[in-house]
Chain A
Amino acid sequence: QTVTLKASHQFPGGKGDVRDEMVQLIAREVAAANVGLEVRVFPGASLFKPKDQWNAMVKGQLDIAAFPLDYANGQHPQFSATLMPGLVKNHDHAKRLNNSPFMADIKKIINDAGVVVLADAWLAGAFGSKKGCLVNPEDLKGAKIRSAGPAFEEMWAGAGASIASMPSNEVYTALQTGAIDATDTSSGSFTSFRLYEQIKCLTAPGDNALWFMYEPVLMSKKSFDALNDKQKQALMAAAKKSEDYFFQEAKKLDSEMETVFKKANVQVTSLNGEQLAKWRAVAQRTAYKTFSDSVPGGKALIDKALNVQ
């Protein structure tokens, strides 16, 4: 009797998207292990809307999903720490973060809710503008910006930008028509949405990134516990491979983005340590402050994250 697991994500399927590949790889490895386990992947939000995936896993109606953990911040406000400006500097730093007390706390919340982490994944992101380079907080004064997450929105607003919210598929047109003049998102999205046709200057992650996001592969604890030991082993082995694969590919997403944007004659820059510190100062009095004040255990989470060297 083969167990079929449903895996859901919102990224394009079968087109080489790294986040899709991460899940497909687990499906292939598990099938090859021949332990009576099949993973059926539903790409492109073809099963659940992205933000419904968390609840569906908690209730055991969805087995596996990959999405930005921040999507579930309405249920667990602590998850906002995983899309918080300036906490993660680069990919190697992100890797060290995975085994830190900070992520231990986050994972405890995940587990207590009835979900387990199969594979850790951190994506870097960038920000860019039609007007000029954004490297210092002053550069954002008066800009109209669309942001991927609420913590970033607060920081941008703190730097004097005005915030516009819209679905991600309207960003290209909004930049084109001038409804917004700047945006932030993951490196992969910057490339796939062809924002190099609209952006004049891009601030790539580099070594002092401002934008990092935790986007793990998760599994419903109910579904995981229902597997036999062999199946669990095969699944965890597959997940480990997927995690390693993604770590390599995540760096490539950044370099690909830089190549594509440079080829399109977009100026590409990144932050130095001093500029990052300035942004952190803005975040300190906006996003970090709100998070510390309003989220239970928020202050401790931020401190723990900042303590990871």
Chain B
Amino acid sequence: MDAFARGVAALSRFFGVVAALMIVLSVLVVCQMVFVRAVLGQSTVWQTPFVTYLLVGATFLGSPYVLLLKGHVNVDLLPLYLPHPARKVLAFLAAALSLAFCLLLFIKGVEFWHEAYAKHWTSSSVWRIPLWIPYLSLPLGMGLVCLQYLADIYNLATGKDLPFGLKAEDTL
């Protein structure tokens, strides 16, 4: 199980790097677009949808990494208020709630991705990118978030992680 948790963390980190690179790439493409239009006076057709889909992808693919970093902001008023054992129970509940939502997104994401793939949907701009490519980011990213949550729950159960990252002496 430890190997599983480490493997998932490595996978999350990898997709974190992918997401970061997608953001950098989108910056470069936006600059290229401004240059091509403002300086060269040429058409910009593919840049707008490309950059938009890059950031859709970065959001979903980067999500497991941000979860690993505990970077998804939460309301920790109740956890701070509760004594440590109750805090741990709440942490399991919170993780289960999030896991349920992300699992649903994963399943629905796979269905929607498959529909776009099977029916040959494309974007409606001149630049006709097959939509299954950007749509893949939702099931992939959310699937990884589910794995990351499973790893988190394992770490929490074995005491490797503190509930909500709070030490026993952290209170209001």
Q: Do A and B contact each other directly (Cβ–Cβ < 8 Å)?
A: yes
Q: How far is the CB of B2 from chain A (nearest CB, A)?
A: 43
Complexed CA–CA distance, A150 and B1 (Å)? 52
* Structural contact, A77 and B125, CB atoms closer than 8 A: no
* Structural contact, A74 and B43, CB atoms closer than 8 A: no
Please, which residue of chain B has its CB at the minimum distance from the CB of A73? B124
Please, which residue of chain A has its CB at the minimum distance from the CB of B112? A55
Name the segment of B59-67, B115-123, B163-171 touching the other chain. Answer: B115-123
Complexed CA–CA distance, A154 and B44 (Å)? 12
* Structural contact, A74 and B131, CB atoms closer than 8 A: yes
Which of B47, B126, B131: most chain A Cβ within 10 A? B126
Interface positions, chain A 77-106, Cβ under 8 Å from B, are: 77
User: For B37, what are the chain A residues with a Cβ–Cβ distance below 8 Å?
Assistant: 144, 162, 164, 179
User: For B159, what are the chain A residues with a Cβ–Cβ distance below 8 Å?
Assistant: none
Please, which residue of chain A has its CB at the minimum distance from the CB of B125? A150
What total of A-B pairs shows CB separation below 8 Å? Answer: 48
* Structural contact, B43 and A163, CB atoms closer than 8 A: yes
Q: Assign chain B's interface to a size class.
A: 10 to 19
Chain A: interface secondary structure? mixed
* Structural contact, B124 and A162, CB atoms closer than 8 A: no
* Structural contact, B124 and A165, CB atoms closer than 8 A: no
Q: Assign chain A's interface to a size class.
A: 20 to 34
* Structural contact, B45 and A153, CB atoms closer than 8 A: yes
Chain B: interface secondary structure? loop
Contact partner of A163 (CB less than 8 A), chosen from B45, B122, B123, B131, is: B45
Complexed CA–CA distance, A285 and B123 (Å)? 23
Please, which residue of chain A has its CB at the minimum distance from the CB of B36? A162
* Structural contact, A162 and B121, CB atoms closer than 8 A: no
Complexed CA–CA distance, A150 and B37 (Å)? 18
* Structural contact, B45 and A74, CB atoms closer than 8 A: no
Complexed CA–CA distance, A77 and B49 (Å)? 17
User: For B126, what are the chain A residues with a Cβ–Cβ distance below 8 Å?
Assistant: 150, 153-154, 163
Please, which residue of chain B has its CB at the minimum distance from the CB of A287? B126
Please, which residue of chain A has its CB at the minimum distance from the CB of B42? A162
Complexed CA–CA distance, A150 and B124 (Å)? 8
Q: How far is the CB of B118 from chain A (nearest CB, A)?
A: 12
Complexed CA–CA distance, A114 and B49 (Å)? 28
Please, which residue of chain B has its CB at the minimum distance from the CB of A157? B43
Interface positions, chain B 102-133, Cβ under 8 Å from A, are: 119, 121-126, 128, 131
* Structural contact, A71 and B124, CB atoms closer than 8 A: yes
Interface check A272, CB cutoff 8 A = no
Interface check A51, CB cutoff 8 A = yes
Interface check B41, CB cutoff 8 A = yes
Interface check B48, CB cutoff 8 A = yes
Please, which residue of chain A has its CB at the minimum distance from the CB of B122? A74
Complexed CA–CA distance, A108 and B44 (Å)? 35
Residues 115-159 of chain B, each 1 if its beta carbon lies under 8 Å from chain A, else 0:
000010111111010010000000000000000000000000000
Q: How far is the CB of A42 from chain B (nearest CB, A)?
A: 22
User: For B38, what are the chain A residues with a Cβ–Cβ distance below 8 Å?
Assistant: 179
23 example contacts (A-B, Cβ-Cβ < 8 A) are as follows: A72-B124, A73-B124, A74-B121, A74-B123, A74-B124, A74-B131, A75-B121, A77-B122, A150-B124, A153-B43, A154-B126, A161-B43, A162-B37, A162-B41, A162-B42, A163-B43, A163-B44, A164-B37, A164-B44, A165-B48, A165-B49, A165-B125, A166-B48
State the B residues within 8 Å of A (CB). Answer: 37-38, 41-45, 47-49, 119, 121-126, 128, 131
Add 6 more A-B contacts to A165-B44, A166-B48 (CB < 8 A).
A74-B122, A74-B124, A75-B121, A77-B122, A144-B37, A150-B124
State the A residues within 8 Å of B (CB). Answer: 51, 70-75, 77, 142, 144, 150, 153-154, 157, 161-166, 179, 294
| Smallest CB-CB A-B distances: 8 pairs | A163-B43, A74-B124, A150-B126, A162-B43, A165-B48, A73-B124, A74-B122, A162-B42
